[in-house]
Amino acid sequence: MEDRKLLNDDELEQIAGGAGTSVGMANWAQRAYHEGWPYVWGGAMPGAVDASGLISSYAGTAHNAEAMFAAAPAKGSMSTMPDIPGLGLYMPGHVGVYVGDGMVVCALNKSEGVVCNPLSSLSWTQWFQIPGVAY
């Protein structure tokens, strides 16, 4: 994956508490990966997240994969997914963030933490626009 500009702490602070952008969401997820954030069940703060917590710590959305997906303003099957970094990816009980170039960041489990893997590495069923994020 090519290097992308990560937001600095001041930029993240300005957007993490309120409505952000899709690019900001992708940068937030990449930051979690590059900094090696651990998976913490129920975690939703910088440095300690679970799958939905990775997203809700940026977007301020519901900290629950099913509720987050249900509240999405737009969604669709994987065959219709637009190439927009910062989209949410969903499978029952789990969410991740598409960061572009066919890559996804998600808080996977306690042993692996936040990972960045090819889109095809997990069985994502749908994409969705994350509530509270501008696309």
Q: Give the position of tokens 């808080």.
A: 107
pLDDT tens per residue, range 36-88: 999 999 999 999 999 999 999 999 888 899 999 999 999 999 999 999 999 99
pLDDT confidence tier of residue 8, bands split at 50, 70 and 90:
low
Q: What is the pTM of this model?
A: 0.85
pLDDT tens per residue, range 19-49: 589 999 999 999 999 999 999 999 999 999 9
Residue 91 has pLDDT above 70, yes or no: yes
Q: Which two tokens stand for residue 115?
A: 């990972």
Tell how far CA 128 is from the center of its chain.
11
Q: Which two tokens stand for residue 104?
A: 């996804």
Q: How crowded is residue 88: how many other Cβ atoms within 10 Å of its Cβ?
A: 29
What is the reported pLDDT for 61? 85
Q: Tell me how far CA of residue 18 lies from CA of 56, 63, 70, in angstroms.
A: 10, 15, 20
Which of the residue ranges 6-10, 89-93, 120-124 would you say has the lowest mean pLDDT?
6-10
DSSP 112: T
What is the reported pLDDT for 10? 52
Tell how far CA 107 is from the center of its chain.
9
Sign of CA dihedral 8, 128, 124, 85: negative
For residues 93 and 8, the model is more confident at: 93
